[in-house]
Chains A and B, each alone.
Chain A
Amino acid sequence: MIDLAVNTALAALGVLLFLLFLMALLSPLEALSWWAGWSGHAPNPSELSTEAQEEIKESDELPQKEIRQPDYYLVYLTAIGGVSADEISYRERVFLQKLQAALPEAVIISDVFPFSVTNNPLTGERLLGWLWRKIHERRKTITGGMLALFIFARNLFNVAVSADPRYGPINNAGVAREISKSLYRNRYPLQGGIPIVTMGWSGGGQIAVGVAPFLRLGLDAPIYVASIGGVLTDDPGIAFVEHLWHLRGSKDKFPLVGDLLFPGRWRIARKSPWNQFKRAGKMTVYTPGPMIHTGKGDYFDPKTTLPDGTLHVDKTVAIIARAVRSIPSLPELVDDAESLAAYDREKKLHPGR
Chain B
Amino acid sequence: MTHDQWIGFSILFLSILSLTVGNSVVLFANRVNRAQFIRSLLAFTFLFILSIFLWTLSIQFFAYFFFGKHKPTIDVLLLVAASFTPFIFGFLILLPHLGYYLYALLRVWVMVNLVLNLMRAYQFNIVQALVVSLLGWLLLEFVSSLSFLRLDDIKRWFLKLTTGKPEYKDPDDLVFEYVKRQRELALEAAKARQRAEEISHD
Task: Tell whether, in the assembled complex, residue B96 and residue A28 are in contact, meaning their CB atoms are under 8 Å apart.
Answer: yes
- CB-defined contacts of B100 to chain A, threshold 8 Å: 164-166, 350, 352-353
- CB-defined contacts of A56 to chain B, threshold 8 Å: 186, 189-190, 193
For the complex, is B168 an interface residue (Cβ under 8 Å from A)?
A: no
- CB-defined contacts of B175 to chain A, threshold 8 Å: 169-170, 173, 214
Task: Tell whether, in the assembled complex, residue A190 and residue B186 are in contact, meaning their CB atoms are under 8 Å apart.
Answer: yes
For A261, give the chain B residue with the smallest CB separation.
B97
For the complex, is A296 an interface residue (Cβ under 8 Å from B)?
A: no
Which of A43, A56, A217, A343 is packed against the most chain B CB atoms within 10 Å? A56
Task: Tell whether, in the assembled complex, residue B183 and residue A32 are in contact, meaning their CB atoms are under 8 Å apart.
Answer: no
Task: Tell whether, in the assembled complex, residue A48 and residue B189 are in contact, meaning their CB atoms are under 8 Å apart.
Answer: yes
Task: Tell whether, in the assembled complex, residue A24 and residue B189 are in contact, meaning their CB atoms are under 8 Å apart.
Answer: no
- CB-defined contacts of A71 to chain B, threshold 8 Å: none
Interface window among B29-37, B67-75, B76-84, B146-154: B29-37
Q: How far is the CB of B85 from chain A (nearest CB, A)?
A: 20
Main secondary structure of the interface of A (DSSP, over half): helix
- CB-defined contacts of A32 to chain B, threshold 8 Å: 25, 28-29
A/B pair count, beta carbons within 8 Å:
116
Interface string of B173-202 (1 = CB under 8 A from A): 001111111110111011001100100000
Interface window among A33-41, A99-107, A248-256, A306-314: A33-41
For B188, give the chain A residue with the smallest CB separation.
A48
A169 CB contact (under 8 Å) in B33, B95, B99, B171 = B171
- CB-defined contacts of B172 to chain A, threshold 8 Å: 169, 343-344, 347
A25 CB contact (under 8 Å) in B94, B187, B194, B197 = B94
B31 CB contact (under 8 Å) in A37, A48, A165, A218 = A37
- CB-defined contacts of A261 to chain B, threshold 8 Å: 97
Task: Tell whether, in the assembled complex, residue B197 and residue A60 are in contact, meaning their CB atoms are under 8 Å apart.
Answer: yes
Task: Tell whether, in the assembled complex, residue A45 and residue B182 are in contact, meaning their CB atoms are under 8 Å apart.
Answer: yes
- CB-defined contacts of A287 to chain B, threshold 8 Å: none
Q: How far is the CB of A173 from chain B (nearest CB, A)?
A: 5
Main secondary structure of the interface of B (DSSP, over half): helix
For the complex, is B88 an interface residue (Cβ under 8 Å from A)?
A: no
Q: How far is the CB of A150 from chain B (nearest CB, A)?
A: 17
Interface string of A312-353 (1 = CB under 8 A from B): 000000000000000000000000000010011001001011
For the complex, is B7 an interface residue (Cβ under 8 Å from A)?
A: no
Instruction: For the complex, give the distance between the alpha carbons of A56 and B175 in Å.
Output: 24
Task: Tell whether, in the assembled complex, residue A163 and residue B194 are in contact, meaning their CB atoms are under 8 Å apart.
Answer: no
Q: With A48-B182, A56-B189 as given contacts, are A166 and B25 in contact (CB-CB < 8 Å)?
A: yes
- CB-defined contacts of A53 to chain B, threshold 8 Å: 189
Q: How far is the CB of B26 from chain A (nearest CB, A)?
A: 9
Q: With A56-B190, A60-B197, A169-B172 as given contacts, are A160 and B96 in contact (CB-CB < 8 Å)?
A: yes
For the complex, is A143 an interface residue (Cβ under 8 Å from B)?
A: no
Task: Tell whether, in the assembled complex, residue B180 and residue A33 are in contact, meaning their CB atoms are under 8 Å apart.
Answer: no
Q: How large is the interface on B (under 10, 10 to 19, 20 to 34, 35 or more residues)?
A: 35 or more
Instruction: For the complex, give the distance between the alpha carbons of A27 and B104 in Å.
Output: 21
B194 CB contact (under 8 Å) in A49, A60, A213 = A60
Q: Which of A1-58 contact B (CB under 8 A)?
A: 24-25, 27-28, 32-33, 35-38, 42-43, 45-49, 52-53, 56-57
Instruction: For the complex, give the distance between the alpha carbons of A242 and B177 in Å.
Output: 22
For B182, give the chain A residue with the smallest CB separation.
A218
Q: How far is the CB of B98 from chain A (nearest CB, A)?
A: 8
Which of B27, B28, B177, B190 is packed against the most chain A CB atoms within 10 Å? B28
- CB-defined contacts of A277 to chain B, threshold 8 Å: none
Q: How far is the CB of B140 from chain A (nearest CB, A)?
A: 18
Task: Tell whether, in the assembled complex, residue B28 and residue A24 are in contact, meaning their CB atoms are under 8 Å apart.
Answer: no
Q: With A52-B186, A347-B172 as given contacts, are A27 and B31 in contact (CB-CB < 8 Å)?
A: no
* Closest 8 pairs between A and B when the two form their complex, measured CB to CB: A32-B28, A160-B96, A169-B175, A164-B96, A36-B28, A160-B97, A161-B96, A218-B179
Q: Which residues of B does A touch, CB under 8 Å?
A: 25, 27-29, 31-34, 37, 91-92, 94-100, 103-104, 171-172, 175-183, 185-187, 189-190, 193-194, 197
9 pairs, CB–CB < 8 Å, chain A vs chain B: A24-B95, A25-B95, A35-B29, A38-B34, A45-B182, A47-B185, A48-B186, A60-B193, A190-B187
Q: Which residues of A does B touch, CB under 8 Å?
A: 24-25, 27-28, 32-33, 35-38, 42-43, 45-49, 52-53, 56-57, 59-60, 157, 160-161, 163-167, 169-170, 173, 176-177, 190-191, 213-214, 217-220, 261, 340, 343-344, 347, 350, 352-353
- Known: A32-B28, A217-B179; 20 extra A-B contacts, CB below 8 A, are A27-B96, A35-B28, A36-B27, A36-B29, A45-B182, A48-B182, A49-B182, A56-B190, A60-B193, A164-B96, A164-B99, A166-B100, A173-B178, A191-B190, A218-B179, A218-B183, A350-B100, A352-B100, A352-B104, A353-B100
